[in-house]
Amino acid sequence: MRKTNIKLRNLVFYQIYVRNFSEEGSFKAIINDLDRIKDLGVDVILLMPIHPIGEQDRIGTLGNPYSIKSYNAIRDELGTMQDFEKLIEAIHNKKMKIMMDIVYNHTAKDSYYHKNHPEWYFKNDLGDSCSKVNKWTDVYDFDFSSDKTLWFELLNILVKYARMDIDGFRCDTASMIPLDFWKMARKQISRVNRKFIWLSESIRGKHLKQLRDMGLNCLSESELYQEFDIAQDLDVEPDQKAYLKGEGPLRHYLEALRNQEQIYPKNYVKLHHIETYDSERIAKRLDNDLDKIKNWNAFLFFQKGASLIYAGQEYASNILPSLYEKEVFDKPTDLTDFFKKLTRLKNRSIFANGIYTVHMRDIDEVAYQTFENEKIVYHGIFNLGKVEGQVEININDGRYRNYLDKKIIKVENGKIDLKPYPIIVREKK
């Protein structure tokens, strides 16, 4: 979006799946934990869907939170609408923002909308409601070309939550919804809150092409940036996952991060992540190697854009709670102090407006990046593969103090010895 403030790059998001955030699984339990979350350095609490879940063809015992029965109601197990309003107020009292997941591509098969307006839905060749893709078996997709009454119904719901002082929306599968709808939505919400934050989930590149080849309209991430402030970094996720699985080099992921500087608007903001509700925990993928876990989290925060912590990540959790069952994450290692250093660093202006460079080096297991302005340079060296040796960095010879653990780092002949832990140093020009 042309008017997007690049200060959004300094934000730290904390994503919560309310059902599995605690044993209680309620809004009240989140309120009781807000002091800890705030102390972690979080700016925005991002809630996954909180609405009633459909029962027809339900996945699992408790169902898929992205299969929504009604947008106007709150799921009973989480609390009442009044409890939700208390959560909003409590988060604001802690000087944080709250955003919620909006799922407008599809609804539950037995939703209020399908029962009362079946004409709003996408149809197959037989004239039956269906989903455009076969990923989810418990939903029907909207057809936004069917009737503008659908648009006005959905817009009114957005305005309702904005007037409840929600600070932003994460728009699930935003690529599948017409840009004109998002344009209209942004215009309506700006009348309620001009600082409202719009976060898009786009369709990954290969999948986008497949959908377009099927004759379906599907927006690219570049198109979404016309109306959205922030985009999830799903464009680079395939290369990230390939490296973590041992199926591709780190270089491909680094090149993808570097390419973001070339293909998106000058004021683009990405929301970077290393784990979410639909990707395996980073601790588990790294076999609970604490050095590697710290390297990956530090690398996450050192990328250009906002950073996402998925609840439990700060505890190096191994358990990725099921979307469909009751399951609470574990807390094997408390990395709170480490994360607090990263969130404080993220808050510095240079990480919003500095020159960001992804440096390519011969050692494929190491990521080296810099942020610089006319006065200082921050160097980040992340030994993601926990390898030995030396790496060349663009810094004057001398002794520097590692921001993360205060250890002295010696630079000689433009090189440093690799350590098993992440290194972030500040250099004055």
Q: pLDDT tens digit string along 324-355?
A: 999 999 999 999 999 999 999 999 999 999 99
The total domain count for the chain is 2
Residues 244-290 pLDDT 10s: 999 999 999 999 999 999 999 999 999 999 999 988 999 999 999 99
**Helix or strand (DSSP H, E) at 343:** helix 336-346
Could you say which of 289, 319, 353 is where a domain stops?
353
Residues 44, 104, single domain; the answer is: yes
Whether residue 378 contacts residue 385, with contact meaning beta carbons closer than 8 Å, is answered with no
With a cut of 80, say whether residue 205 has pLDDT above it: no
Residue 1 lies in a domain: no
The rounded distance, in Å, linking the Cα atoms of 269 and 213 is 29
Distance CA 397, CA 292 (A): 27
pLDDT at 210: 86
The per-residue pLDDT of the chain, averaged, comes to 96
Tell whether the model's pLDDT for residue 419 goes beyond 80. Answer: yes
Q: What does the pLDDT read at residue 361?
A: 92
Domain limit, last residue, from 329, 353, 377: 353
Residue 297: count other Cβ atoms within 10 Å of its Cβ. 25
Q: How confident is the model at residue 135 (pLDDT cuts 50, 70, 90)?
A: confident
Q: Write down which residue in 353, 375, 402 finishes a domain.
A: 353
CA distance 22 to 223: 38
- Give residue 10's domain range: 6-353
HSE-up (13 A, CA, CB side) for residue 223: 17
User: What integer is the mean pLDDT of 354-370?
Assistant: 95
Q: Are residues 150 and 228 in the same domain?
A: yes
Tracing tokens 């996945």 back to the chain, one arrives at 59
Same structural domain, 339 and 370: no
Q: Are residues 263 and 295 in the same domain?
A: yes
Q: Are 45 and 111 members of one domain?
A: yes
In-domain check, residue 131: yes
Name the nearest CA neighbour of 264 among 319, 321, 200, 317.
200
Q: Which tokens sit at 32?
A: 């009781």
The CATH number for 394's domain is 2.60.40.1180
Per the CB < 8 A criterion, the answer to whether 162 and 189 are in contact is: yes
